[in-house]
Amino acid sequence: MEEKSNKLLILYASQTGNALDAAERIDREAERRGCPVVILSMDDYDIKCLPREDTVIFVVSTTGQGDTPDSMKVFWRFLLQKKLSKHWLKGAHYAVFGLGDSGYQKFNFVAKKLDSRLSDLGATAVLERGLGDDQHPSGYEGALDPWLQSLLSRLYKIKPSFFPQGPGFVISNMKLIEQPKVHITYHKVETTHSQMSNASDLKGIQMQFERARSMSPVKFSNYKNKPDCFLKMIKNQPLTTAGGGKDVRHFEFEFVSSAIQYEVGDALEVLPSQEPAALDAFLQRCNLNPEAFIIVHCKDTRNNFPDTFMNTTEGPIKLRTFVELTMDVASASPRRYFFEVMSYFAKAEHEKERLQYFASPEGREDLYQYNQKERRTVLEVLQDFPSVQMPFEWLVQLVPPMKTRAFSISSSLLAHPNQVHLTVSVVSWMTPYKRKRNGLCSTWLAGLDPQLSICIPAWFYKGSLPRPPPSLPLILVGPGTGCAPFRGFVEERAIQSLSGPTAPVIFFFGCRNEESDYLYKELWLHHSQNEGVLSEANGGGFYVAFSRDQPQKVYVQHKMLEQSQRIWNLLVAKASIYVAGSSTKMPSDVWSTFEEIVAREGGISRDFAAIWLKALNRDGKYHVEAWS
């Protein structure tokens, strides 16, 4: 038998960073007790080596409707191979912690599947899987804290060799505080280099962007270093009326670098810019020189050598540019560990005590109320504790990263060559303490002037709605901004109909009021008349539900039931169902409505209707794209 590894391995699969945070928390607590640890993203690990590991902790997020994070897809496909025997992982120990949201139907689906598969392959669970829940009053940490204590307790018992100093040994936190995972060097830069780094041309912008992002210590699936292309906005059009309670915009962009051949149903990610005043306030609060040139070196976690750093960049970059492109200082809330590290640098005793309380298990729920519920930003937290002066190395490590924001594409390249369109609701809300908050990206996009030609870094990726062939009948359900991808579907089908026969399309749209938020009204009505692709004459139809225009609320489900015979006829004709919109109740309500229609029109029981729909789903004929 091969000799087992003498290190605890932590493998994480993180789409937006939460699983990485949880994995790093486990890493810190194990290291503090003298346990040798290696922490890696799943896509950085050679899964063929898994049988040689002694103990592996898996930390995985569930995304969308029960999907695996991008960094886990290859890993998971390998695990599902039928050639792997039930003894493949015999002798290996494991534990699984999942991050999910119980508001979704497939809560922590990925963690549950992984736990089951590892057991099937012969691995032994150290303890029962932990399931973090975003709906918990303390977020996922409500489950992580007790699970982590149980994990360490179990590891002490079954793997004493991992803790050579004994169960009572704990490394001083101050020693860890002296060892951030990044190192920053400051450089004097020649005038020519400075001019190049500040270049306003596209090549200069791209160089600055890639240089800054490649230096960041962040490592998770949704953190992008190199954009697919750059876009410039050419239209910023309100779709809703003022005073209607919502601000929904139609944005059009042109490619200013290489054009991307996207398809309808794809998604677009953009990286927003931060408010200059907020950046200035952060730099001033942290006593940072915005004009300094820096290189950020990151610790090599693959080898776990504290003094080995990966230099991932070609040269220095201006400090302000690095912060602007990599550190979200004025929209994202800091993590709990941020407060713990702050406590070590607090000079005022009352601030130190409060920060220590926030970082403790006892203060977890109060921290959640103060921080996450109020969506306090890094800048606001630092301003609330003025005696804290954190080193820049720790800020780089702990400030949440600037993330891309994803939107469903609402155009077809056939209809709009060299363009991509978005339909975006400008996000704003009130916190429990009545402080107004605005979504960073949607607010930034809404404030852009198309005349200014701002270069916007962008990425394209496959969404949950595959492009349908012209011969496929479609049943589309898209209330609110859920109509976005179907605008592209309808535009493309209309162009295809000019050169040959196309299958019918029936579309159910919903909004609050006909006068205030009837998105793309003229487009839908145009295609539903004169034998258009949405016309009843062509076997399709367009049906809209106005939920607030009458005393009794009317939703898309009600309109679907009114057209149950039409829906059934299309289902019999092998139609595919596409559903897009809010992830709250809508997807499950629509599914339930389809069950009712299939049972009624097919003359079968509700249970058989559910089985029939599940078969449709398995066959790739029922697609959902939902977002929170």
On whether 583 is known to bind a ligand per the annotation, the reply is no
On whether 61 is known to bind a ligand per the annotation, the reply is yes
How far is residue 36 from each of residues 152, 205, 388, measured CA to CA in Å? 13, 41, 31
On whether 628 is known to bind a ligand per the annotation, the reply is no
Closest to 483 measured CA to CA, from 401, 422, 571, 434: 422
On whether 557 is known to bind a ligand per the annotation, the reply is yes
Return d(Cα 577, Cα 193) in angstroms, integer. 55
Return d(Cα 252, Cα 273) in angstroms, integer. 18
Q: What are phi and psi of 268, to 5 degrees?
A: -120, 135
On whether 439 is known to bind a ligand per the annotation, the reply is yes
On whether 14 is known to bind a ligand per the annotation, the reply is yes
Do 39 and 67 meet the contact criterion of CB atoms below 8 Å apart?
no
On whether 62 is known to bind a ligand per the annotation, the reply is yes
3-state DSSP assignment of residue 493 = helix
Return d(Cα 95, Cα 362) in angstroms, integer. 25
On whether 165 is known to bind a ligand per the annotation, the reply is no
Closest to 100 measured CA to CA, from 151, 56, 139, 57: 139
On whether 405 is known to bind a ligand per the annotation, the reply is yes
> E strand or H helix at 353, and its extent?
helix 349-359
On whether 18 is known to bind a ligand per the annotation, the reply is yes
Structure tokens at 127: 């303890």
Return d(Cα 472, Cα 570) in angstroms, integer. 10
On whether 441 is known to bind a ligand per the annotation, the reply is yes
Closest to 88 measured CA to CA, from 61, 133, 52: 52
Closest to 126 measured CA to CA, from 148, 99, 98: 148
Closest to 75 measured CA to CA, from 3, 6, 14, 5: 14
On whether 63 is known to bind a ligand per the annotation, the reply is yes
On whether 408 is known to bind a ligand per the annotation, the reply is yes
On whether 484 is known to bind a ligand per the annotation, the reply is no
The torsion region of residue 449 among left (phi > 0), alpha (psi -120 to 50) and beta comes to beta
On whether 442 is known to bind a ligand per the annotation, the reply is yes
Return d(Cα 598, Cα 570) in angstroms, integer. 11
Beta bridge partners of 235: 252
On whether 556 is known to bind a ligand per the annotation, the reply is yes
Q: What are phi and psi of 125, to 5 degrees?
A: -75, 135
**What one-character-per-residue DSSP string does 30-83 give?**
HHHTT--EEEEEGGGS-GGGGGG-SEEEEEEE-BTTTBPPGGGHHHHHHHT-TT
18-32 vs 141-158: helix crossing angle, rounded to 10:
40
- A 10 A CB-CB count for 607 gives 10
On whether 259 is known to bind a ligand per the annotation, the reply is no
Closest to 386 measured CA to CA, from 291, 277, 281: 281
On whether 123 is known to bind a ligand per the annotation, the reply is no
Amino acid (one-letter) located at 13:
A
For 447-486, b/e burial (b = at least 16 CB within 10 A) is ebebeeeebbbbbbeebbbebbeeebbbbbbbbbbbbbbb
**What one-character-per-residue DSSP string does 366-417 give?**
HHHHHTTTTT--HHHHHHH-TTB---HHHHHHHSPBP--EEEEB---TTTST
Return d(Cα 374, Cα 389) in angstroms, integer. 23
On whether 561 is known to bind a ligand per the annotation, the reply is no
On whether 19 is known to bind a ligand per the annotation, the reply is yes
Residue 283 per-residue DSSP state: H
3-state DSSP assignment of residue 316 = coil
On whether 424 is known to bind a ligand per the annotation, the reply is no
On whether 387 is known to bind a ligand per the annotation, the reply is no
Beta bridge partners of 420: 253
> Known binding site for FMN: residues?
14-19, 61-64, 134
Numbered residues of the known binding site for NADP(+): 481, 547-548, 553-557, 589
Annotated binding site: 14-19, 61-64, 134, 375, 405-408, 439-442, 481, 547-548, 553-557, 589, 627
**Annotated binding residues for FAD:** 375, 405-408, 439-442, 627
